[in-house]
Amino acid sequence: MAEKTRINAEERRQRIIEAAKPLFADFGFNGTSIRDIAKAADVSNALLYKHFPSKEAMYEEILSYTDYIIPKLKRKLEELEPSTQTLVFLSFAFFRFILFEAQMVNQDQKRHERLLFYSLLENLNYARKTLRRIHDDFEKMIKDNFIAAEESGDIIKSENNVKNRFWFMHHLAMGVNLCHVSGEPAFNYDTSYRELVEDAVCFVLRGIGLTDRAIKKYYKPEKLEQQINSIF
C-alpha cells in the first residue's frame, strides 16, 4: 500500500507540472494563479501545496521539464573535436533549434520559449536560470572552437570578446524567434523557416568573423541538417 501511495504522489506531482506549463507559457508567472493551476490539474489548492511550497518553486522546477534541447546538443558537441567545422555546426544548431525545432516540432520547447520571453518581462528568474545554464554548458566549448578556428586562419582576429560574439549570435536567434513565438509571424520574412535559418546562420558566421573561404568550405546546410537529425 505504501508503494502505491508513493507512485500516486509522483504521478500527481507530474500532473500538476503538466497542467502548469501551458498556463505559465500562455499567461506568464504573474498572470497565472495557484487556483488556475489547481483547477487545471484537478486538485485542491491544499493538495497542490503539499507538492509545491509556492508558485515560485513550481515555476523554477518547470525549467528541467521544458528545455529538452540543451542536454542533447551538449552531448553531441562533446563528441566533436574543437575546430572551425564544429564552430559552424554549433552556430547552425542554435539557429536550427531556436527558429525551427521550437516552432515546428516540440510542444514543450515552444512552451519553454514562451516562458523565457514572459520571464524577460516579469521577474527574470526563469530567463536568468536558462541563460546561465547555456553559459555553464557551452562557454568552454565556444572558446575552444574559436581558438581552433583562429589557429586555422579561418576567423578574423578581433578585439571583441569571444563570449560576447556567441551571445550576440544567441540573442539574434531569440529576437527572430520572438517574432514567431505566437505561432503566427509578427513579421513576414517571405521565406520558409529552413531558408530563414540558412540565411541567419550565414549572416552570423560573417558577424563572428569567419572568412568567406571558411564559410564556403564548412557551411553546408544539407550536411549540417543531417548532423542535427542524428541527435534526435
Q: Which domains does the chain have, with CATH numbers?
A: 2-63 (1.10.10.60), 67-231 (1.10.357)
Q: What is the mean pLDDT of the chain?
A: 83
pLDDT at 111 over 90: no
**Contact between 115 and 66 (Cβ < 8 Å):** yes
Residue with cell 549540417: 224
Alpha-carbon radius of gyration of the chain: 20
Q: What is the tens place of the pLDDT at every residue in 30-57?
A: 889 999 999 999 889 999 999 999 988 8
The Cα 229–Cα 57 span in angstroms is: 35
Q: Which residues pair with 210 in a beta bridge?
A: 155
Cα-based distances in Å from 171 to 176, 177, 209? 9, 10, 17
| Minimum mean pLDDT range among 7-21, 68-82, 101-115 | 101-115
pLDDT at 3 over 50: no
Per-residue pLDDT, averaged over 20-29, amounts to: 84
- pTM metric for this prediction: 0.77
Handedness of CA 192, 194, 197, 200 (dihedral sign): negative
The Cα 224–Cα 96 span in angstroms is: 10
* pLDDT interval class at 96 (50, 70, 90): confident
Three-state DSSP state, 28: coil
